[in-house]
Amino acid sequence: MLCFALMFLLTPLVLLLFEGWKGMSYALLEKEVHCALFLSLWTATVATILSMGIAILVGYALHQLVLPLRRVLSVILSLPMSLPHLVSGVALLLLYGRKGLGDWLYTQFRIDFVFTQAGIVLALVFVNLSYAIVMMYSGYEEQGSHMEFTARTLGCSRLQAFCFVTFPLSRRTVASTTIMTWSRALGEFGAVIMIAGTTRMRTEILPTTIFLNMATGDLDIALGVSVILILVSVVCISLLELLMPSTKEGERC
């Protein structure tokens, strides 16, 4: 069964790597790919920073709430995670489009999310925030409140206990959630295409490059960019594995 699962999962990826390897060097010379790579990297990074900033605090707030409110809010906050990403994109378009809140945002602050790079960041935050919150919340739950309470008996306020004990003890969860959020943001397509569109060299990120080049029959670039995304995923998963301790911290002698 294990062999079947491994073959089922890995065969298409190995084939893609094999086929796309030559295309990758060709793709890396293309100005379009440079733009898409640069845009993907910065939008994914900004979206990850925003998502993590919110998730660290919201996950902690959830962890502090009493049952059953904690469970109800946790389910509500997880909802966007289970939506198809295209649906998330449609919802964002409705809210931030010119017929929704977007018109007011544009006239008051000149902020426009539709067919813009800001729209890419918005979509990436929307589809990844739930995931980041759930991961951080689970991390805090796993840690428990034992250490935090001990810190409070030692003179810390709630905020000091969070800053000096709870947050430093969650550093592995923060690091792994950051890596996974960034990796997911780099590969996001559905929500982005709905709100930011696929304007070449303007709102084109790596997944849209694959889509555009597949649509126009330029397979070398499409396969080359796919290989780049696979390599990024491999690096992220390896980093994640390095962060996970093989034994529990605080092993006794």
Partner 1 sequence: MLRIHDVSSAAGSCILENVNLTLADGAYCVILGSSGAGKTVFLETLAGRYPLIHGTIEWNGIELSHLPPEKRHIGLVYQDYALFPHLSVAKNIAFPLRFSHCSQKAKEERTASMLDLLSLSSVADARPGTLSGGEKQRVALGRALVMDPKILLLDEPLSALDWATRQQVRSMIKTIHQDLGKTIIHVTHDFAEAKYFADCMTFMQHRTLSAVLDQKSIQAITEEDIYERLRP
Contact region with partner 1 (CB under 8 A), list: 28-36, 114-122, 164-172, 206-214: 164-172
Residue in 160, 199, 216, 238 binding partner 1, rule: CB under 8 A: 160
Q: Based on the shown chain and the rule CB under 8 A, indicate whether residue 11 belongs to the binding site for partner 1.
A: no
In the complex, what is the shortest distance from the CB of residue 144 to partner 1, in angstroms, rounded to a whole number? 10
Residue nearer to partner 1 on the CB measure, 160 or 216: 160
- 206 neighbors 41 (Cβ within 8 angstroms): no
Residue in 79, 153, 217, 244 binding partner 1, rule: CB under 8 A: 153
Q: Judging by beta carbons within 10 Å of its beta carbon (0-12, 13-18, 19+), is residue 167 exposed, middle or buried?
A: middle
Distances (CA, A) of 167 to 15, 60, 174: 42, 9, 9
Residue nearer to partner 1 on the CB measure, 171 or 200: 171
Residue in 107, 108, 146, 246 binding partner 1, rule: CB under 8 A: 146
- 99 neighbors 113 (Cβ within 8 angstroms): no
User: In this structure, what token pair is assigned to residue 110?
Assistant: 């000149």
What kind and span of H or E run contains 187?
none
In the complex, what is the shortest distance from the CB of residue 167 to partner 1, in angstroms, rounded to a whole number? 10
Residue in 5, 31, 244, 251 binding partner 1, rule: CB under 8 A: 251
What is the C-alpha to C-alpha distance for residues 178 and 64, in angstroms, rounded to an integer? 22
Residue in 127, 165, 191, 225 binding partner 1, rule: CB under 8 A: 165
Residue nearer to partner 1 on the CB measure, 42 or 164: 164
In the complex, what is the shortest distance from the CB of residue 71 to partner 1, in angstroms, rounded to a whole number? 15
Q: Based on the shown chain and the rule CB under 8 A, indicate whether residue 154 belongs to the binding site for partner 1.
A: yes
- 121 neighbors 46 (Cβ within 8 angstroms): yes
What is the C-alpha to C-alpha distance for residues 35 and 32, in angstroms, rounded to an integer? 5
**Which residues lie closer than 8 Å to 131 by C-beta, 6 or more apart?**
81, 180, 181, 184
Residue in 24, 120, 122, 156 binding partner 1, rule: CB under 8 A: 156
Residue nearer to partner 1 on the CB measure, 12 or 144: 144
Q: Based on the shown chain and the rule CB under 8 A, indicate whether residue 149 belongs to the binding site for partner 1.
A: yes
User: In this structure, what token pair is assigned to residue 170?
Assistant: 């969650």
What is the C-alpha to C-alpha distance for residues 43 and 191, in angstroms, rounded to an integer? 14
User: In this structure, what token pair is assigned to residue 95?
Assistant: 């809210």
Residue in 12, 53, 84, 168 binding partner 1, rule: CB under 8 A: 168
Residues that bind partner 1 (CB under 8 A): 146-147, 149-158, 160, 164-165, 168-169, 171, 249-253
